[in-house]
Amino acid sequence: MTIADVAITALSVVLVALVAAGAVPALVALFHFLAIPFHAWINHYGKARPTTPRVAIVIPAWNEGLVIGTTIDRLLQLDYPRDRLRICVVDDASTDDTPDVVRDRAERHPGVVVHMRREQGGEGKAHTLNHGIRTLLQDDWMEALLIMDADVIYRRDSLRKMTRHLADPEVGAVTGYVREGSATKNAVTRFIAFEYVLAQIASRRAQNVVGAVACLAGGAQLHTRENIEALGGAIDTTTLAEDTVTTFETQLGGRKVVFDPHAVVLAEEPPSLDALWKQRLRWGRGNVQLTIRSRRIWFRPSKVHGLGSLAFGLSWFSVFLLPAFMIGASVGLIGLYLLDSDLATVVFRALWIVVGCAYVFSMAFAAQLDPEIGRIAWREILLFPGIISLVVMVAAFYPGLVDGWLLDLLGVDMTPALRTTFDLASYAWISLSMLAAWGVRHVDRTRARWLTVPLLYLVGFGPVLCAVTFAAYVAEARRLDRVWEKTEKTGRVAG
């Protein structure tokens, strides 16, 4: 064997490894769904007991006049002792009628609804929260702190379902299932609704099983007073992921974080792709910051917390590095094609068979976790990866079927050049789908935004999320300003 042969063999091994790595996120997702049934036995319900600590609810609000009144009214209807509830709205120097709406409720419910005004605002959600938290910690009344958003609607029993876990002194914080709750849904909000099924009642159930939770939902995080004090009496303000940082620091301190899928709260989510992109870019940048900040934690098991476990690390990085896995898979396939087209075909089929089987199982399973969302968003469930990706998947399962059918339909003969073009396009689409998703977002910002929905179904919602993550890498690498862009709320939540 010549040196050239050895080099080609070594390069082929590296390229195959890149393609194989592309299956890791799908396999980790499959692991999550296989772990969910164990939540029937490995959960925190055995240590939960009915308990009603004095709960202070902190709501950061900047120009939330359209939603804050309804939010307060619904909180007052909670199945929870009124004398053990205090609703504190931290008004971040609002310029609309937010102060008037909150003062009206405070006058009607003295001692229960409290208006806190910051005269100089604009510093972001974490600073607004800390203003309220510092005030609440000045006396001994508060025993637990609920942090929520101004547009979130709690179901009547949600707070009780969260506080029951605080009967266990080892628990520091509890989070619930934030469900997309827009009264009038469109394709974007239906995609988000199903994504929340995947990211919350699926993934966080699995995280309960493995013993580490990734994030306390920003609109539904309940802390013990002791946990807040252990965190320094304030929420982190150094990143754009204050809720995830708080989740990590709670567990690093040896206190448990519990996700309760039965504590359901409804939230208004962005109705347009452009608004969603801005929201998720902020989240993505926060995750980049946290990942770097936590570099000494990853894959280092600890007796104190589960964040360093192999299972949690794979769960985190399978999502965080998904764009890198996708690009690597395309590079590997195209490289193998240039070296040996037969090997590329075999590896391509193997990748998509693994990913396809994991996808079908995961989507079918997830649709059953929230049957109502499954009925509403059935199109979005089927087309989550996009029509083009589904065509590529079918082409991998049944070689010659898709391209043969298309060519017969068009009356075109399959030539070697056309075969090469079809194969390379299929290999490249794995990563180019993110570029296409970026393009769809820009269409949504033009007068041709009516094309957004058909293009979104064509390209897929999954590639959009991956594209945002990649954009977060770029934004952090360029050290762009860390601006908190508020998502506009209009009071469209259905109670």
SS3 175: strand
CB atoms within 10 A of CB 201: 22
Q: What is the mean pLDDT of residues 408-415?
A: 67
Q: What is the mean pLDDT of residues 350-377?
A: 93
| Helices (H) then strands (E): counts for the chain | 21, 8
pLDDT of amino acid 22: 94
Read off the tokens for 481: 């300003």
* Residue of higher predicted confidence among 429 and 415: 429
DSSP conformation class of 486: P
DSSP conformation class of 96: S
DSSP conformation class of 445: T
pLDDT of amino acid 495: 57
Q: Which of 86-90, 236-240, 490-494 has the highest mean pLDDT?
A: 86-90
Confidence of residue 7 (pLDDT cuts 50, 70, 90): confident
Task: Report how far residue 92's alpha carbon sits from residue 89's, in angstroms, rounded to the nearest whole number.
Answer: 9
pLDDT of amino acid 354: 93
* Residue of higher predicted confidence among 423 and 48: 48
Task: Report how far residue 204's alpha carbon sits from residue 259's, in angstroms, rounded to the nearest whole number.
Answer: 6
Average pLDDT along the chain: 91
Given a contact cutoff of 8 angstroms between Cβ atoms, the answer to whether 147 and 120 are in contact is no
Mark out the alpha helices in 197-321 (DSSP H runs). Answer: 203-210, 225-230, 242-252, 273-293, 310-320
User: What predicted TM-score, i.e. pTM, was given to this entire model?
Assistant: 0.92
pLDDT of amino acid 191: 96
pLDDT of amino acid 8: 81
Sign of CA dihedral 149, 153, 157, 158: negative
Name which of 389, 384, 417 is nearest 402 in CA terms.
Answer: 389
pLDDT of 489 strictly over 70: no
Read off the tokens for 290: 């946290």
pLDDT of amino acid 73: 93
Q: What is the mean pLDDT of residues 291-304?
A: 94
Task: Report how far residue 14's alpha carbon sits from residue 165's, in angstroms, rounded to the nearest whole number.
Answer: 48
Distances in Å between the Cα of 43 and the Cα atoms of 55, 165, 262, 316 are 24, 11, 13, 20
pLDDT of amino acid 212: 96
Query: Cα 25 to the chain's mean position, in Å?
Result: 15
pLDDT of 414 strictly over 80: no
pLDDT of amino acid 356: 92
pLDDT of 203 strictly over 70: yes
Task: Report how far residue 158's alpha carbon sits from residue 169's, in angstroms, rounded to the nearest whole number.
Answer: 20
Min mean pLDDT across 105-114, 121-130, 161-170, 302-311 is at: 121-130
Given a contact cutoff of 8 angstroms between Cβ atoms, the answer to whether 150 and 68 are in contact is yes
Given a contact cutoff of 8 angstroms between Cβ atoms, the answer to whether 163 and 55 are in contact is yes
pLDDT of amino acid 411: 66
Min mean pLDDT across 121-125, 291-295, 330-334, 432-436 is at: 121-125
Confidence of residue 342 (pLDDT cuts 50, 70, 90): confident
What is the strand order of the sheet 113-118 is part of?
113-118, 85-92, 55-61, 144-147, 221-224, 171-180, 256-267, 153-154
* Residue of higher predicted confidence among 9 and 213: 213
